[in-house]
């Protein structure tokens, strides 16, 4: 039998429907792949083989009775920021060690309802704070293309697991680039949905006005299949939009003739790795050859994206992480009194990056500084959203690099928080403005590390980004290349 871990979701569904393979075959093949390779890659915080095998057998029984749910029998895994009923959910942090939710996040529940098979929970930067997965409270994750390099972050485990063929798809979260950047570093496809498109219920919050859950997969078509399941209004999430969800698989088909794609000059500025710029501009040429019109555009307030984002995001982190005090859930360190217990629990439970962001966020929200920092950052955010509104009145999508460089080496930027933050400089604007963003591979550098491009679209225009991405992948083979795992 051919290697089942290399199938796309579309191929696997067809083979299961025809009886050529079973969901149990597919599940066992991916569990074996985890056994072979995850001791080196370390994408998983927790593997759930018993749950997976039970769900796979149930999927086979359901299919035998005519069930045709959209992800029936497909092996997936989840970033450990998503609540899973009965399964420990740590958010990559020691402070939540031992926390077992009583409910599923809405996105998780929808995957289960669609018949997906859960293989486990995936590693991440603690509370999604980082760009390399080196800030995990447990262990770093390795890049499947080169174990000396990071997989990106904060959803590094989600990207690495798909790139290493350990799962067919995964979910991550994107607060400032945490889906798109690791997808770029690991050479796979992934989508950051528009704010409000996918429910945040059960997603442990870092920045409540930025966070979005989204899918990783081996191709844009597979991304669309997962997105079709998790998208849509959720009454449990007050930020979830009641906008209708398109038929992504149908709408992603079609030619690009007549579409206008903008290249923002500010995303091709000094500091961009030359190989990255060449690959992304070559992708623009490819899209032009497919019928799209490509033109240079400009984002007036681009230079203010980074400071505005980090002021607001850290303020929200300070507020959101205040709940982790050792009283209601997670780890607890006893003290001489309640306040002492709070201090010891938070001091021992949070890592250095989480502490840094909590302190900075608390400072910007404090009396005398709120208006000077937080208030101004919110005003700048409004200007940035207006800039994008103006651009999307002229073009249908924006094309840019995902990150200024390919995956950096372990430890290379760990001791330089500012340089780590700059790894997200090309992705955070989409979160500030609530845009959708698709990341997909477009080449490799001289060291053999993947290069990713991002397609940014107006809010709730995911279908058009998927259409452009699908057309690009039909004309190229970058997404078909796999790391040589050892």
Q: Give the C-alpha separation, 406 to 184, whole Å.
A: 8
At a CB cut-off of 8 Å and minimum separation 6, what does 202 contact?
A: 82, 83, 101, 103, 104, 105, 106, 107, 108
CB atoms within 10 A of CB 238: 9
- 154 cis-preceded (ω within 30 degrees of 0): yes
User: What is the three-class DSSP state of 335?
Assistant: coil
Angle, to 10 degrees, between the axis of helix 462-475 and the axis of helix 274-289?
90
* 3-state percent helix, strand, coil for the chain, nearest multiple of 5: 45, 15, 40
Three-state secondary structure of 81-130: CECECCECCCCCCHHHCCCCCCCCCHHHHHHHHCCCEEEEEECCCHHHCC
Q: Read off the tokens for 236.
A: 């449990």
Q: Is residue 178 annotated as a catalytic residue, yes or no?
A: yes
Closest CA to 357 of 312, 325, 324: 312
Q: Read off the tokens for 461.
A: 């225009």
Closest CA to 458 of 370, 394, 378: 394
436: which strand partners? 457
Q: Is residue 46 annotated as a catalytic residue, yes or no?
A: no
Spell 400-429 as b/e; 16+ CB within 10 A means b.
bbbbbbbbbebebbbeeeeebbbbbbbbbb
Q: Is residue 260 annotated as a catalytic residue, yes or no?
A: no
Q: Read off the tokens for 303.
A: 């230079």
* Candidates 79, 112, 121, 192; catalytic one: 79
455: which strand partners? 399, 438
Sign of the CA dihedral running 154, 159, 164, 169:
positive
Q: Give the C-alpha separation, 240 to 202, whole Å.
A: 13
* Candidates 154, 173, 318, 429; catalytic one: 154
* Candidates 131, 136, 155, 178; catalytic one: 178
Q: Read off the tokens for 83.
A: 């609540």
Three-state secondary structure of 415-478: CCHHHHHHCCCCCHHHHHHCCEEEEEEEEECCCCCEEEEEEEECCCCHHHHHHHHHHHHHHCCH
Q: Could you list the active site residues? A: 79, 154, 178
């Amino acid at each position: 039998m051919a290697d089942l871990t290399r199938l796309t979701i579309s191929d696997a569904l067809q083979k299961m429907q025809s009886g050529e393979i079973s969901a149990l075959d597919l599940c066992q093949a991916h569990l074996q792949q985890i056994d072979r390779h995850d001791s080196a890659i370390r994408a998983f915080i927790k593997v759930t083989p018993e749950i997976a095998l039970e769900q796979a057998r149930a999927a086979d029984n359901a299919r035998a009775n005519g069930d045709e749910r959209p992800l029936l029998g497909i092996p997936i895994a989840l970033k450990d920021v998503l609540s899973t009923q009965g399964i420990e959910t740590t958010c990559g942090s020691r402070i939540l060690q031992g926390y077992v939710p009583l409910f599923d996040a809405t996105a998780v529940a929808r995957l289960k309802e669609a018949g997906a098979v859960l293989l486990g929970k995936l590693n991440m930067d603690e509370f999604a704070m980082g760009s390399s997965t080196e800030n995990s409270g447990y262990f770093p994750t390795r890049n499947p293309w080169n174990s000396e390099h990071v997989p990106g972050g904060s959803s590094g485990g989600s990207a690495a697991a798909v790139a290493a063929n350990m799962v067919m798809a995964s979910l991550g979260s994107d607060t400032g680039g945490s889906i798109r950047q690791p997808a770029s570093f690991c050479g796979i496809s992934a989508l950051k949905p528009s704010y409000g498109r996918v429910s945040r219920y059960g997603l442990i919050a870092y920045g409540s006005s930025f966070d979005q859950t989204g899918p990783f997969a081996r191709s844009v078509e597979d991304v669309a299949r997962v997105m079709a399941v998790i998208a849509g209004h959720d009454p449990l999430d007050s930020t979830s939009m009641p906008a209708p969800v398109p038929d992504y698989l149908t709408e992603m088909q079609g030619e690009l003739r007549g579409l206008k794609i903008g290249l923002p000059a500010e995303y091709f500025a000094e500091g961009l790795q030359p190989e990255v710029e060449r690959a992304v501009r070559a992708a623009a040429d490819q899209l032009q050859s497919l019928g799209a019109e490509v033109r240079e555009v400009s984002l007036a307030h681009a230079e203010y994206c980074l400071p505005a984002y980090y002021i607001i995001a850290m303020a929200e982190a300070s507020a959101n992480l205040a709940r982790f005090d050792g009283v209601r859930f997670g780890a607890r360190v006893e003290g001489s009194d309640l306040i002492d217990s709070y201090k010891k629990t938070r001091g021992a439970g949070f890592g250095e990056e989480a502490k840094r962001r909590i302190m900075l966020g608390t400072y910007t929200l404090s009396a005398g500084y709120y208006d000077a920092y937080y208030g101004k950052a919110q005003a700048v955010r409004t200007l940035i959203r207006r800039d994008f509104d103006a651009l999307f009145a002229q073009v249908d999508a924006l094309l840019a690099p995902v990150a200024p460089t390919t995956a950096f080496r372990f430890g290379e930027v760990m001791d330089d928080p500012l340089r780590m933050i700059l790894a997200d400089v090309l992705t955070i604007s989409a979160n500030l403005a609530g845009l959708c963003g698709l990341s997909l591979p477009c080449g490799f550098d001289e060291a053999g590390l993947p290069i990713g491009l991002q397609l940014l679209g107006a809010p709730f225009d995911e279908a058009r980004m998927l259409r452009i991405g699908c057309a690009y992948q039909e004309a190229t083979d970058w997404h078909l290349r796999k790391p040589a795992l050892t």
